[in-house]
Structure 1
Amino acid sequence: MTTTGGKSFRKFLSENKIVALLVVVALIWALFGILTYDADTGTSGFLTARNFSNLLRQMAITGMLAAAMVFVIVAGEIDLSVGSLLGLLGGVAAILDVVLGWPLAGTIATVLLLGAVLGLFNGWLTAYLGIPSFIVTLGGQLAFRGAVLGLTGGITISPVSPGFKYLGQGYLPGWLGNACAIGLFVLLVAMALLTRGKRTKHNLPVATPVAEVARLAAIGALVLGFVLVLNSYQGIPVPVLVLLVVLGLFTVMAKGTVFGRYVYAVGSNAEATRLSGVNVNLVKMLVFGLMGLMAAFAGLATTARLAAGTPSAGFGGELDAIASCFIGGTSMRGGVGSVIGALVGALIMASLDNGMSMLGVDTFWQQIIKGMILVLAVYLDIVSSGNKRA
């Protein structure tokens, strides 16, 4: 590749990461659509509304973790404990619901509070005691997994109440799904206009009005297609709705709040941010608290989906979340990343899992392929940033 060609390639990757990722998703779906095509029925097993519904429900849990993991990695840290924390919080939810018979609202509130507290504790150890987050969360991974084994006695706790089960297995009515889709699109348009206004105010480059309208129209088409496909089966799954709400809130948090700007500043240059008067330690602790809160949501969704609390729930979840972030364009050096990119990364991971499972690919091959894709994603991050080693 020539120098000019290399620069153009890096510029394309840097400016169009989400577009490139969506193209990858389309190619993956097309490939599995062809490979699962049944000539007798004239249909593809992969390209059905039912399978898309299952695929999105499957990726919702990873997406919840990945959405918060973006903030952790952008801040220059890592969290290896979220899979075990998910399992612990899901086990606590099952105990409160099945064994103690708590009302659903009390169970949800308690689990969310516990997740936030444990996440803040990880952040306190990292930010204020100076223990590297890798060590803190590796220790948490072991401790949380041991705790869930002790609480559950190593057995599955079931069945959860019908109301709890609905959180993981229920669907929204068609009209409500349509309303949520419209709300999401309006929010994304508002964020785009707000971002454009701020960049114009500070004399920063912006896309042409035609390009901006085309981008928003493409987003609208994707949202419309998403809702129509899911409504043609049974509607939007409840965990997917939760993920869409998380997408909206976290996108606003990242792009439209002081806290979001502080997180990116800390990841870009922590010392300069500290000297500018920002409480870097507090920002890092809050990021881990946010991660714990999302682990709680994911734990509730997992227990509800399985209709039981299992000691093995969330095993390896932290690796899928981290991989989703890197595949979605989050930089391993910190300071760069987006929630939408991480969720598209989670969709790629879920699509690979779903498609290879339908084809009967052995589990070890699935792990090998996902590992290769992760390494490739990090390499593309290095290439796009122009920091390739000589």
Structure 2
Amino acid sequence: MEKTIKKEPEKRSLGKELTGLVKANIRDYMMYIALIIIMVFFSWKTNGGFIQARNISNLINQAGYVAVLAIGMTLILILKHIDLSVGYVAGFCGAVAAILMTQAGLNEWVAIPIVLLLGLVIGLYQGVLVTRVGVPAFVTTLAGMFMFRGLLNLTLQKTGTIIVPNKGFNALSNGFIPDIPGLDLGFHLLTLLIGIVMVILTVTTQIKARKNRQKYNFKVTSTPVFICGLIFISAIILVIIWVLAKYSGLPWTAVIVAIVLLIYNHMLNKTRLGRYIYGIGGNDQAAELSGIDVKKVTLFAFCSMSVLAALAGILYTSRLQSATPTAGLGFELDAIASSYIGGTAVSGGIGKVTNTIIGALVIMSLTNGMNLMGVDISYQYVVKGVIFIIAVAFDVRTRSKGR
């Protein structure tokens, strides 16, 4: 009997295994398939303009603030809460940063920590209302949306749009990492080296994870499929890195988002706090009975969300090189959509920040591509709404079938 079980995987063809793998993990793969389809479609409709180096850099800078917001929103949604205030919290914090630099005369590296601290205070205020006072998160953050929209307008009431002259601040969402000095190779060497390091880290991480699964007798894909997957992921990373290296290099926005992603991915997957977040999202009553302090974990999630909203506001203000009264409009919708498109379960308890980044790229690729095609903004909202409802409906249906 044992011999039969061991020989069965060998008899399966590679094609059948790949088909079975896609079917079994369709929820995880669908967002990648959607992103590829979107990129191929817009590349075709724009005669290759969508995948030009300049536009790829522009897309990364555009997606930066949404990606940062979506990472924080993923934690909130896993816990079965929601934060509707993040858009105007970002807009308000961006305006405060502009005022600190232009009117208070502070250096950008002093203003940025102050704004992040302001985000923490906002998160504490909203988190305490939810966890200690018992006001539902929907009501608390809806009220916050109105409040911070009003504060944004009051902050800029006298001055209107504030132009930010600080070069260091504006470089956060418009600049690129510098290359190794003294070299003129026709491409950005440091960016290429970073890409190679990313590939090495990705490969070693995947191999380590596979060995751990084998160690505990968990099911893994066959060696040929595993190798094909590593080659595919590595090829995508290297192609994007090479395109950027031939242009101006890696944008600082990508570096900032990558740092935030690494921190939160490690926290969710490698720490006790991450296990608590998933446990509370799965069943908060059972988590509380097992000794988890649900209120403290929830408070942390709201503080984290507001700090990331402040960072998103900094990135957006840096991107525009100015603070405007309309900053923050609809940011929360893009963040929520990115999380759900990235596979965060509507019922809570399930979600990955790495997949959320893909969801953010899907949303912003749609916006970027339609802008290149000259599609009216009204139709853009319709298209994004349709994509969003399809993604959530697909997730709900596939999860119900999985049960």
TM-score by length of 2: 0.87
Stretch deviating more after TM superposition (195-204 or 107-116):
195-204
- Aligned pair 1:93/2:97, yes or no? yes
Give 2:192's aligned residue: 178
Stretch deviating more after TM superposition (179-188 or 378-387):
179-188
Stretch deviating more after TM superposition (309-318 or 240-249):
240-249
Structure 1 residues 334-373: aligned runs within 5 Å: 334-373=348-387
Choose from 130, 139, 145 the match for 2:143: 139
CA shift in 2, pair 1:182/1:253, >3 Å: farther
Q: Which amino acid aligns with 2:311?
A: F
- Aligned pair 1:161/2:175, yes or no? no
Q: How many residues were matched structurally?
A: 376
5+ residue gaps, structure 2, are 1-18, 179-187
Query: 1:294: Cα distance to partner?
Result: 1.0
Query: 1:334: Cα distance to partner?
Result: 0.3
Give 2:61's aligned residue: 57
The answer to whether the 8 A contact 1:70-1:342 is kept is yes
Query: 1:187: Cα distance to partner?
Result: 4.3
CA distance in 2, matches of 1:257, 1:271: 21
Query: 1:122: Cα distance to partner?
Result: 1.6
Query: 1:190: Cα distance to partner?
Result: 5.0
Give 2:184's aligned residue: none
Query: 1:178: Cα distance to partner?
Result: 3.2
- Aligned pair 1:35/2:45, yes or no? yes
CA shift in 2, pair 1:347/1:147, >3 Å: same
Give 2:12's aligned residue: none
| Structure whose CA Rg is larger | 2
Query: 1:183: Cα distance to partner?
Result: 4.3
The answer to whether the 8 A contact 1:94-1:160 is kept is no
Query: 1:214: Cα distance to partner?
Result: 3.1
Give 2:237's aligned residue: 223
Q: Which amino acid aligns with 1:22?
A: Y
The answer to whether the 8 A contact 2:22-2:29 is kept is no
- Aligned pair 1:108/2:112, yes or no? yes
Q: Secondary structure at the match of 1:376?
A: helix
The answer to whether the 8 A contact 2:27-2:398 is kept is no
CA shift in 2, pair 1:168/1:191, >3 Å: same
Cα RMSD (Å) of the superposition? Answer: 2.3
Q: Which amino acid aligns with 2:66?
A: T
Give 2:257's aligned residue: 243
The answer to whether the 8 A contact 2:97-2:111 is kept is yes
Query: 1:47: Cα distance to partner?
Result: 2.5
Query: 1:196: Cα distance to partner?
Result: 3.7
Give 1:3's aligned residue: none
Choose from 301, 316, 324 the match for 2:338: 324
Q: Secondary structure at the match of 2:233?
A: helix
CA distance in 2, matches of 1:312, 1:208: 52
**Deviation per CA, 1:102-123, whole angstroms, max 9, x where unpaired?**
1222111111111122123222
CA shift in 2, pair 1:208/1:249, >3 Å: farther
- Aligned pair 1:276/2:300, yes or no? no
CA shift in 2, pair 1:13/1:367, >3 Å: farther
Structure 1 residues 61-80: aligned runs within 5 Å: 61-80=65-84
Q: Secondary structure at the match of 2:354?
A: helix
5+ residue gaps, structure 1, are 1-8, 38-43
